[in-house]
A and B are shown apart, each in its own frame.
Chain A
Amino acid sequence: MKNLRHATALAAIACAGMAQAQTELSLWYHGAGSANAEEALVNQVVADFNASQSDWKVVLETFPQLAYNDAVGAAALADELPDILDVDGPVMPNWAWAGYMQPLGIDEAKLEGFLPGTIGRWNGEIYSVGLWDAAVAMMARRSVLEENGIRIPTLEEPWTREEFDGVLQTLKDTGEFDYPLDLGMAWKGEWYPYAFSPFLQSFGGDIVDRDGYQTAEGVLNGDAAIEFGEWWQGLFENDMAPGTSQDAADRETGFLEGKYALSWNGNWAALPVVEKFGDDALFLPAPDFGEGPVIGGASWQFGIAKTSEHPEGARAFIEFAIQPKYLSAFSDGTGLIPSTADAAADTANYNAGGALEVFYELSENQAKLRPVTPGYIVQAKVFEKALADIANGADVIDTLDAAVDEINEDIENNQGYGH
């Protein structure tokens, strides 16, 4: 990582000669301090781009992830946005609607073969595109399942709800685990809607009615949602999963240490599992709670700020960045899922027979976008609180009703969010 930084610095010096002719473009990125190679890779792409042509010079500014959205909001207020923005997929509609971003203007043909979760659309236009997607799977150990006579589910035939509840009971009865299932309740914030709203969707409910995005009534507090809420509460009442006060450390190491039999976790956490358990490691698809198995899609993507004076330069950079070699490089460096099948074939983990190949399939087959609406950022917070409250024993129906009221009021206050 240090070497890469040096390389970047050298490249910058090398470019200095022609810097005069290059117009500066600012790029903001959310991954400051990332332990994995992410930041170094972004630096590499920027350096390569600056060296590849003489019109533009991209200048990178990185931010700590939790601070990033606030920083962008503040900059937008003060009219200080950069040219190129990095944006979390579900947040993009909000930024597009609020006038932070402009359509990418990239030829759709260039995005052919990209996973659905890597392309951000709002109002019929493409606003952002990602170099990778992320996927969530039920991490398990083959030996544990086989010992307890549990069927190993497949993409075609996932666990049904009854089967899944049975699996949890069986694993709990072994007495070998602190909890049969680790949901990652320790991870606050976007993890809740990202990882758990797919369960609700599989039950037949949703965070908001996607038909026009004008209400959550009947969707977040309908029969399906109430059934989901009761099932969800049962997980914690019956000690199937650790609740909201789960230790962050246990989330990181509990499954590896054998405290939990199953762990609902993302592909970014998969490599340590493969390292620890080797062939015994399993990455299983989401259970089917009635309406088909679902996982969340969309991760961080690049877009162009509305205020950019050089959208053509920003576009050139984004087109440069989505070359297959960078998609593969990011995947190898970070463990994330490359955006195209071609790039996947070139990676260490997602090629045919690779350790994480299954995640590409999960992403391709099960991924559903979080509600594509500017109101999502509020809805996500409301949903998170509702799930935490229900897990802590709040009345299911009252809690969901309250969530619906808050979401609807917010939609109303925003005059329908421009749908």
Chain B
Amino acid sequence: MASKLTRANRAGWLMAFPGVALMTLFIIVPFFLAFAYSLTNQRLASPNAAEYVGFKNYSDLLGVAVFTLEPERDDSGAVIRDEDGEIEYPRLRGFTRNNPDYPNLAGKREWFSWQSGENRTVVLASDVVFMKALVNTFTFVLFVAPIQAGLALCLALLINQKLRGINIFRTIYFMPVVVSIVVVSLLWQFIYSPGEGLLNNVLGWLTFGAFEGIDWLGRTDTALPSIMAMSIWQGVGFHMVIWLAGLQNISPTLYEAGEIEGAGKWQTFRYITWPGLRNTAVLILIVITMQAFALFAQIDVMTQGGPLDSTQVLVFQAVERGYGKQDISGGSTISAILFVIVLTISLIQRYLTRER
């Protein structure tokens, strides 16, 4: 009965058509073009015709090798140590540059290394900047997605109270969202400014001067966290609103029933609110993950990937290569890799949050 009532091929196609057609033309077709570019050496500006190069762009980005460095030894075979007692190793450039004995290391650079006995094991990558961007992007997503979603839910619960003037607070909490991320980044550069910057000043004031100024965006260990904090600050209001819409969708009769049963606050949340937010939670998790992977403007305005690549991320690298360095194929390759990564993750997310 129901299926007969809802079956309508013509109406379904007609109603979906405008959206499907527009997305096909303006998103799907260009995406496949971009993927095609990643298999060529297409340039943004060049008199040379583009050629098919297969998966060369991919191997240029993803190539990795492991190499064990043995210490320098003197004639007697004893390990040479410097003044601090550290073992001395030959420089890697002796192996990676113009050395026909090690063709697999040619053009590669040290990514990271560790000590194993007297030897040092080095992991080399064809494109260290890309590898760092990959790691930083994952770090960003892993921290920002749960923290931002959690804080947004707290805020939503906070402003879902019946209090006089609550709408003013709702507006204020949402305000950062309406400000462009480019604008926000410009403003926060003043806040993160080293030495006598605003944040340093406030922290110094709160700790009665005990706090020592930090160069927030200039240190490799604070730059990415600083950008994370700012991104959460800017985006949390939006997800708060989505949570709020979800909260308001929960039938009040459920709460009334809970009250009659004598449920406590936590129980109400656990057994009424949270299950009612299922679809909202899935939505928020997906949206935040997508947005976090697309991190770009903050990096572009504030750090350009520095210092020492500590804030390099994938989309920034894709744009930097594609436009800045006129390397369309390289930029497109990063886009394609990003697509595969995010697709995998969203498939996992959907599997984990599937309706059982």
With A378-B325, A381-B324 known to touch, is A188 a contact of B304 (CB < 8 Å)? yes
With A247-B194, A414-B46 known to touch, is A394 a contact of B217 (CB < 8 Å)? no
- Closest Cβ neighbor of B306 among chain A residues: A388
Whole-angstrom distance between the alpha carbons of A70 and B45 in the complex?
11
A sample of 21 inter-chain contacts (CB < 8 A) reads A73-B326, A76-B45, A77-B44, A94-B45, A99-B47, A243-B218, A244-B307, A245-B194, A245-B217, A247-B193, A381-B320, A381-B324, A385-B305, A392-B220, A392-B306, A392-B307, A401-B97, A401-B109, A402-B128, A413-B327, A415-B48
User: With a CB–CB cut-off of 8 A, which chain A residues contact B194?
Assistant: 245, 247
Residue B176 at the chain A interface, CB threshold 8 Å: no
Interface size for chain B: under 10, 10 to 19, 20 to 34, or 35 or more residues?
35 or more
Q: Which of A73, A77, A401, A414 contacts B93 (CB 8 A)?
A: A401
Residue B246 at the chain A interface, CB threshold 8 Å: no
B47:A405 contact, CB within 8 angstroms: no
A397:B93 contact, CB within 8 angstroms: yes
Q: Which of A243, A388, A402 contacts B109 (CB 8 A)?
A: A402
With A393-B308, A398-B109 known to touch, is A414 a contact of B43 (CB < 8 Å)? yes
Residue A410 at the chain B interface, CB threshold 8 Å: yes
List 8 A-B pairs, minimum CB-CB distance, nearest first: A245-B218, A98-B45, A392-B307, A378-B325, A392-B308, A245-B215, A245-B194, A99-B47
Residue A389 at the chain B interface, CB threshold 8 Å: yes
Residue A377 at the chain B interface, CB threshold 8 Å: yes
Interface size for chain A: under 10, 10 to 19, 20 to 34, or 35 or more residues?
35 or more
Residue B268 at the chain A interface, CB threshold 8 Å: no
Encode A85-123 as 1/0 by CB contact (under 8 A) with B.
000000000110111100000000000000000000000
Encode A373-388 as 1/0 by CB contact (under 8 A) with B.
0000110010001001
User: With a CB–CB cut-off of 8 A, which chain B residues contact A98?
Assistant: 45-47
User: With a CB–CB cut-off of 8 A, which chain B residues contact A188?
Assistant: 304
With A397-B93, A398-B93, A402-B109 known to touch, is A244 a contact of B47 (CB < 8 Å)? no
What number of A-B contacts does a CB cutoff of 8 Å give?
A: 80
Residue A272 at the chain B interface, CB threshold 8 Å: no
Q: Which of A73, A244, A410 contacts B306 (CB 8 A)?
A: A244
Encode B205-239 as 1/0 by CB contact (under 8 A) with A.
00000000001011010000000000000000000
Known A389-B307, A405-B109; 13 more pairs at CB < 8 Å = A243-B218, A244-B306, A247-B195, A247-B197, A248-B189, A378-B327, A381-B320, A385-B306, A389-B308, A398-B109, A401-B96, A414-B48, A415-B48
With A188-B304, A378-B326 known to touch, is A73 a contact of B44 (CB < 8 Å)? yes
Residue B107 at the chain A interface, CB threshold 8 Å: yes
A95:B45 contact, CB within 8 angstroms: yes
A97:B306 contact, CB within 8 angstroms: no
Encode A390-419 as 1/0 by CB contact (under 8 A) with B.
001110011001100100011001110010
Q: Which of A392, A397, A398, A410 contacts B325 (CB 8 A)?
A: A410
Whole-angstrom distance between the alpha carbons of A401 and B218 in the complex?
24
User: With a CB–CB cut-off of 8 A, which chain B residues contact A99?
Assistant: 47
Report the minimal beta-carbon distance from A349 to chain B, rounded to whole angstroms: 33
- Contacting B at CB under 8 A, from A163-181, are none
- Contacting A at CB under 8 A, from B147-200, are 189, 193-195, 197
Residue B354 at the chain A interface, CB threshold 8 Å: no
- Closest Cβ neighbor of B223 among chain A residues: A245
- Contacting A at CB under 8 A, from B93-139, are 93, 96-97, 107, 109-110, 128
